[in-house]
Structure 1
Amino acid sequence: MIVLRNLTKVFRHGGRRKVVADNINLTIPSGVSVGLLGRNGAGKSTLIRMIAGLTAPTSGEILTDGQISFPVGISGAIHPDMTGAQNTRFVARIYGVETDALVRFVEDFAELGDHFHMPVRTYSSGMRGRLGFGINLGIQFDTYLIDEVTATGDADFVEKSRKLFRARTEKAGAIFVSHSIPQVRQMCDAGAVLSGGKLYYYPDVEDAIAAYETRAHG
């Protein structure tokens, strides 16, 4: 599980103050795929970065009893001057998994062809997403963080990605950020809505979607 305890994040810029997380206290259960919903600018990516340990909160803390993945889709998770293969090996070493096995998995899954051995800065955004998605789901985590990644490619590749995500989350949890309501319905069991610095958790994803749509159109 992931425990957010008195979690607060405030940005100050040019004399302005923006509160992304306002003293949030919430426990996200283990083994649940949670769709994180909110308007543009609500702070969803910042929250994901805090859970991943990439961004420090202003105050409060985040506790977990499991291993959390790096966040797929967030800029900076993949080094642009390294090849896809080099990035894969680097992440494997960080998390202590067998490097050659992960490289073989990602090369097969991501379907990047020769680009797998080229610098990531030469990739399209879709190719970066496929690489990051493959690296992330190639490792067994307790919680997967997925931020605004839609698998790109033909229908077979999209279906392959969906099946892999669901297979992984049969034994693990996930926090899945997407503006695609059909995708959230397909991928998630529960939901959370970030609004005005507050985070509202719903055990049923349909309740979360209804709350999000009410706030979005309110």
Structure 2
Amino acid sequence: MQSHEAGSSPDVAPDRRRFLRGADARTSAAWLLLLPLVLFALLAASVAAQRALPFDRPVMLWLHAVSTPWLTAVMEAATQLGGLVVVPIAATAMAAALWWRGSREGATLLAAAVLGSTVVNTVLKAVFRRARPDVWEPLVGENSYSFPSGHAMATMSLAVALVVLAWSTRWRWAAVTAGVMYVLAVGVSRVYLGVHYPSDVLGGWSASVLWVSVVVLVLGRIRSRRSPS
């Protein structure tokens, strides 16, 4: 084991790779799998059986009832921030910055979480083939399937990955707060604009948490195998 020499200054820079070290992160990720797994399974079963979820239409109708021109403009801006072009580009840029700064594990986590969730979303949409809502005329155009929401998956995967990266630093709660606000803003905008049911958004969030948890577990296992015993 290494020890600091007398008089040497300890490295005070936060080690962003600690999220993959030891059993703590892997145990937390395993527990994180349970709740989203149950939620996604319940939602997926209803969608596969083409059963209407009782909260979908009431929530959509309520949001439509409170719509105003200025709120619509805000929601249109919010939905752009979660776009399937904006999020991957932002994630790629951040992953490249992490790699350049020497945090290769962090870069791998971020890229695998966000870019991988895009692939997972494409597969899930093709499996469930849920039609878009027809509660009212959508305020923006979409031509893909509805479940799970791609915007919800993209934003949640980005937010969770950044929280994991920031967890061992003083920025953890700032990352959590910003992530929650970001994910909620984009998720609500998709329902407000009439292009997703609330259950699509919940399905996207839960699927994304599942995916990122799997990424953390896999990267942790790879690192533990590479580490000397």
State TM-score, norm by structure 2: 0.25
State TM-score, norm by structure 1: 0.26
Give the structure with higher Rg (CA). Answer: 2
Q: Which has the higher helix share?
A: 2
Higher relative contact order (CA 8 A, sep 6+): 2
